[in-house]
Amino acid sequence: MTAQLAARAPQRPPLHWQSRLLAWALAAAAGVIAAAALVGPLGLGLMRYRTSDTTLNQLLGSDAAALFVVAPLAIVAALLAVRRHPVAPLLATGIGGYAVYTYAQVIIGQEYLRLPGNVERFFPLLLTVFLLAEALLVLGWRATPAQLPPPSPRLARTAGVTLLVLAAFLVFGQHLRPMLIAWQDPSRLTEYASSPTPFWMVKLMDLGIIVPAAVATGIGVLRHAPWARRMIYTLLTGYSCLAVSVAAMAVVMIANGDPDASPALAVGVGLFALVFVTLIAALYRPLLRRGANDYDGPYIAAEE
């Protein structure tokens, strides 16, 4: 009888191709993100951005965050994907969203033909990062657990309010004043006068993507909408990476004496980064207690 029960006991299924694919995509993304940072001015200096000194300071901060924070996080997510851990696909979607946002700006936001550089020669590398980021969004979203643990009312309220505050900060604290100055007297803004393409690129993506997504998800979380429970993981993970990246940009600008550097902005973005990382830790804690055998995501469903 004991032998029969043991024979009928559920066995852990073999590693499914979806988990392997997600793990490989995460590992590859980590590699090319690190490579893109290392071949640039932060490392070997082989890739030279076609941009102004002000925007170059921002790109240096972005590359530092990508190399020392995002790439290691992608490696951790890849190892979790190998173990079929439910946190892996959630991290993947956040990293993918961050990378799509960041490397779209790196590719499009250059002053081609106007300023010296050779970044276009590294387009295949940057395109690879972008394509892998898209793959992470799709693979991670498909592999997200069917039933995510609901956050506590306090955590949900804090996360929702934080997203709404972030949206207000981006509109009124970061972008409104520079836009007004750009409309009235562009020469007053070194960042705009020297490199207008990334100036408007960032405005478009922040006000056209980041802010609407934060407002919609923040309201959805506060109203306990089922769809918002899934989105909150992606947004908070991606926004945490972006907040760390922008904070690094602000620090580099201050360290290099950039005329557009803002200590107040550095403090504000640093606080948002700290809040987002804290929220992510609280949000992921219930999932981190679960093992692969507790995972109810598509990996297991596809294997049964």
* Calpha distance 181→245 (Å, rounded): 25
Kindly state the average pLDDT of the residues 6-15.
45
Q: Which amino acid, residue 177?
A: R
Range in 11-25, 45-59, 104-118 with the lowest mean pLDDT: 11-25
pLDDT-derived band at 163, boundaries 50, 70, 90 = very high
* Higher-confidence position of 297 and 127: 127
Residue 17 is predicted with a pLDDT of 79
Q: What is the pTM of this model?
A: 0.88
* Calpha distance 16→24 (Å, rounded): 13
Using DSSP, state whether 280 is helix, strand or coil: helix
* Calpha distance 128→132 (Å, rounded): 6
Residue 92 is predicted with a pLDDT of 97
* Calpha distance 134→93 (Å, rounded): 9
Give the H/E segment covering residue 110: none
- pLDDT beyond 50 at 16: yes
Residue 110 lies in a domain: yes
Q: How far is CA 268 from CA 40, 208, 292, 302, in A?
A: 28, 21, 38, 45
- pLDDT beyond 80 at 5: no
How many domains does the chain divide into? 1
Kindly state the average pLDDT of the residues 3-18.
52
Both tokens assigned to 14: 């073999």
Structural domain boundaries enclosing 139: 15-288
Phi, psi dihedrals of residue 290, rounded to the nearest 5°: -95, 145
Judging by beta carbons within 10 Å of its beta carbon (0-12, 13-18, 19+), is residue 99 exposed, middle or buried? Answer: buried
- pLDDT beyond 60 at 291: no
Residue 268 lies in a domain: yes
Residue 45 lies in a domain: yes
* Higher-confidence position of 303 and 118: 118
Residue 292 is predicted with a pLDDT of 52
DSSP state at residue 51: S
Residue 6 lies in a domain: no
pLDDT in tens, 174-205: 899 889 988 988 888 777 888 888 899 999 99
Residue 189 is predicted with a pLDDT of 79
- pLDDT beyond 60 at 294: no
Determine contact, residues 47/122, Cβ cutoff 8 Å.
yes
Residue 64 is predicted with a pLDDT of 97
- pLDDT beyond 90 at 21: yes
Kindly state the average pLDDT of the residues 226-245.
93
